[in-house]
Amino acid sequence: NAAKKPPQSRGEVKASPAFYQFDKFPEYKEFTTMEWYLDKEKYPRTQFLKRLSVSDATVNLEGREMINYSTYNYLGLAGDARVKEAAKRAVDTFGTSTGSGRSITGEIELHRAFENEICEVLGTEDAVLSVGGYSTNTFAIGYLCRNKDLILYDELIHNSALAGCKMTAARRIGFPHNDYEALEALLAENRGKFERVLILVEGVYSMDGDIPDLPRLIDIKRRYKALLMVDEAHSFGIIGPNGLGVTDYFDFDPHDVDIYFGSLSKSFGTCGGYIAGPKPLIAMLKYFAPGVLLYGAAPTPANTAAGLEALRIMRAEPQRARRLVDNARYFVQRAKAAGLDTYNSHDSAVVPLMCRDSELALWLSMALFGQGICAYPMLHPIVPRDKSRLRFFINTFHTHQQLDYTIQCIVDNLRVAPKSKGVF
Ligand code: PMP
């Protein structure tokens, strides 16, 4: 009888009725076409490789040491002895889990300490720390906008913000990347038609590596009485004379940005997300926004302690960010001198190398992989096919020698690149 069967042998696997056959889904077909192509062209598989070390300027993938351009750990803090020690201390004191949501026994002093320090740096009244970057961005936007609201977003904003927009019943309109005239035209056209207008931009765009004109955006949002939210995932810890993000870079009154979002998975070298802004905003998010704190576990002691220590190091050692941006500038300048297209990248640690063809981007990435360089391709649907590229995340620990070697390899490879067959 069934109750006596051991759990690992549930009997014969029967074919599912057609409705349940996931291999018939069109999305699965897309996946198998890609797999078929990689096999046919004898490309090595570079996804889901096992990492055996900290990843900063270099990484050990499956036992192979490589120059690394694929990690968020811009400032090298994920492997910093002080950050690791802080995380270990937090585990010793609080264990590995917070055991529940923050409002019901999950709160530890480190959560509040992080929030107080990020407010001090940004000049905001309050902040809330949550478990993941993606989810914080999504759920904060998803909570804040209603059916009588309008969201105007830069077309290059991150998927997490788009997901938040889609959760709401608000009207949502994208404007062309950094096109402030188009934004103003939309604001003028919709003036008076909505209760609130939210403008969404990034401090550094995660694909193009460029910085928006925030003073201009602030002027626009003031004139049209809109709210401005900036995603600082790739700008905090990186841009500005002290590396402290958009407020540092542009030197404006921090209150001119209504909502700051930040991710702890980038310069902080850990995991989590925060929203910073006026007290009432943070109170609403803390008490009522599902997915920010409500209905989910609190950030772990280890992640929170690491984030706090990383923040303190960023403040004490601005030279890390300076060195990072110097490295990025050096890389862009050398790439341009070699005739390569780094697109819009400017003053940030994200440098796209435009291939403008999916197969070429994939081929180049694989060729570099063979030469000990880890730089992943960004293909459709992440970017349009004609904007396919390799994305280089520059690291504060990269040496000029590593950057020069990489440029040389790219140039040599492109000379012998096969013609694209236009398969995908
Ligand atoms: N915003 C941007 C611009 C990002 O690039 C990312 C991560 N790729 C996120 C939000 C989500 O952050 P996290 O990695 O912390 O989930």
User: Mean pLDDT, consecutive 10-residue segments, the chain of 424 residues?
Assistant: 57 68 86 86 86 96 97 97 98 96 95 98 97 98 97 97 97 98 98 97 97 97 98 98 94 92 98 98 97 95 98 98 97 97 93 95 95 95 92 98 98 93 72
Q: Which domains does the chain have, with CATH numbers?
A: 39-68+318-415 (3.90.1150.10), 79-316 (3.40.640.10)
- What tokens were used for 190? 């919709």
Angstrom distance (rounded) from CA 216 to CA 182 = 13
348 C-beta closer than 6 A to ligand 1: no
Atom 12 in ligand 1: which residue has the minimum CA distance? Answer: 133
- Note the pLDDT of residue 6: 56
The token pair that represents 296 in the structure block: 């989910």
Please answer whether residues 289 and 307 qualify as being in contact, where contact means their C-beta atoms are separated by less than 8 angstroms: no
Residue 300 CA to residue 70 CA, distance in Å, equals 25
CB 162 within 8 A of CB 153: yes
How many other CB atoms are found less than 10 A from the CB of residue 292?
A: 29
Does residue 235's CB lie within 6 angstroms of at least one atom of ligand 1?
no
ipTM of the complex: 0.99
pLDDT at residue 11 in the model:
66
Whether the CB of 263 sits within 6 Å of ligand 1: yes
Is the beta carbon of 206 within 6 A of some atom in ligand 1? yes
Q: How many CA atoms lie within 13 A of 131 on its CB side?
A: 21
Burial class (CB in 10 A: 0-12, 13-18, 19+), 316: exposed
Residue with structure tokens 């030197």? 251
The C-alpha atoms of residue 31 and residue 42 are separated, in whole angstroms, by 16
261 CA → ligand 1 middle, Å: 10
Contact call for residues 140 and 117 (beta carbons, < 8 A): no
Omega within 30 of 0 (cis) for the link into 254: no
The pick from 158, 205, 348 for probing ligand 1's pocket by mutation, whose C-beta has the most ligand atoms within 8 angstroms, reads 158
Task: Check residue 112 and give its pLDDT.
Answer: 98
Query: Residue 88: what residue type?
Result: K
Phi first, then psi: what are they for 174, rounded to 5°? -90, 145
Is the beta carbon of 56 within 6 A of some atom in ligand 1? no
Q: Is the CB of 299 under 6 A from ligand 1?
A: no
> Quick check: CB of 296 below 6 Å from ligand 1?
no
Triad 112, 164, 321: Cα angle to 5°: 55
Ligand 1 contact, 273 CB (< 6 A): yes
Verify whether ligand 1 is closer than 6 Å to residue 303 (CB atom).
Answer: no
The H-assigned helical ranges of 224-318 are: 246-250, 279-288, 301-316
- Whether residue 73 has its Cβ less than 6 Å from ligand 1: no
Span from the CA of 137 to the centroid of ligand 1 (angstroms): 8
CA–centroid distance, residue 417 to ligand 1 (Å): 32
351, 342 in Cβ contact below 8 A? yes
Q: Which residue has the tokens 């590593």?
A: 402
Residue that is written with structure tokens 């949502």 in the block: 172
Q: Which atom of ligand 1 is nearest to the CA of 273?
A: 15
Q: Which two tokens stand for residue 320?
A: 């890390």
Rounded (to 5) percent helix, strand, coil in the chain: 45, 15, 40
